Structure 1
Amino acid sequence: MSVNALAARPISSDTYRAVMRHLPTGVAAVCSTDRTTGVQNGMIVGTFASLSMEPALVTFSVMDSSTSWPKIADASTFSISLLAEDQQQVCRALSSKGEDKLRSVAWSESEWGNPHIQGALAWFDCRVEQQFVAGDHIVVIASVIDMAHSEGSPLIFHGGRFGSFRENLIPSS
């Protein structure tokens, strides 16, 4: 029987979630400042990835029902901070519903006017290059206009829990 003759099985969201929870992800804070009101907006994404080196592009996705993303996308630029292993509280604060999510989060303003989370391993200032709907998400492609990094271990989300990276050294034979 040809692969093309097989009928695709419907995949339930519960099954999809149960399988995908086996993939660890980094945790990134996406933030901006509304240029009219001066209000900071923020959210967490677990889908952040490098997309291209030339030109420097990154990508992430957000639920199409997100109320935070439209506020961030409306700014001319926004920031992405890669959270460090000890920043679970930052993740929880920016994952909450409501306004003023950065109230309890230490941050500093970038040259571009965006909140950079203090203690993060890296940050990027970006502009939206493209965004498009894919299923129940919006895929964002952003051009990097500035970036920097520090040392440390990343905050990892895996199997519904937070953790950190630990190198698994294999003895040489």
Structure 2
Amino acid sequence: MGTAPPVRSHVDPQAFRQVLGHVPTTVTVVTAGTDEGPAGLVVGSFVSISLRPALVGVFIDEASVSWPAIHRTGSFAVNVLAHDQQAVCARFARSGGDKFAGLDHRLSPHGHPLLPGTTAWLDCEIEDVRKLGDHFFALAGVTDLGTSQGVLPMVFHRGALHTIADGSAPGS
């Protein structure tokens, strides 16, 4: 049985966004210690790719002014935001400016900013970057990581920030 060639049709971008809004996504902040100082940006498309080797991916809007400096470092940290970090999310979602002004943070083993109060963090080395549509996809190997036990994550769903109710699985 042969496979049919892919059918490409025009999909309205607003309808696409509305439909995909029904898929909850993790809210993360990608950070790096750059030559210009610390840099960071919100990433709503973060994905685990492989366990062996440990690989993750992030999708960065092509219009990001923070990404070029982060990309040049060759590595970055992923900060998984906690349910109560809406102000941190807003700070790193804006374009330009000193997003770290007045914000305490510690450094990862690679020297990248780790934000306080997050659910988890991963230190990553960039393995490949590709332009896909209106985003860059950065494939990265995980070199170190950690979690904060009992801290519930922030998720983006249907156009708003939410948290997981209690972190337990249905029926448990």
TM-score scaled by length of structure 1: 0.88
CA distance in 1, matches of 2:83, 2:120: 12
Q: Aligned-pair RMSD on alpha carbons?
A: 2.0
Matches within 5 A, 1:1-173: 8-34=8-34, 36-37=35-36, 39-151=37-149, 152-166=151-165, 167=168, 169-170=170-171
* Unmatched runs of 5 consecutive residues or more in structure 1: none
SS at the partner of 2:73? coil
Deviation at 1:104, TM superposition (A): 4.3
* Unmatched runs of 5 consecutive residues or more in structure 2: none
Larger radius of gyration: 1
CA distance in 1, matches of 2:64, 2:7: 33
Deviation at 1:145, TM superposition (A): 1.0
What's the % identity of the aligned pairs?
Answer: 32
Segments of 4+ in structure 1 off by > 2 A?
3-9, 167-171
CA distance in 2, matches of 1:123, 1:16: 30
CA distance in 1, matches of 2:161, 2:92: 15
CA distance in 1, matches of 2:6, 2:116: 51
Cα pair distance change 1:145/1:170, threshold 3 Å: closer
Deviations 1:132-162 (A, max 9, x none): 1111111110011111111221001111111
AA aligned to 1:160 is G
TM-score scaled by length of structure 2: 0.89
Whether the 8 Å contact between 2:64 and 2:95 is mirrored in structure 1 is no
SS at the partner of 1:66? coil
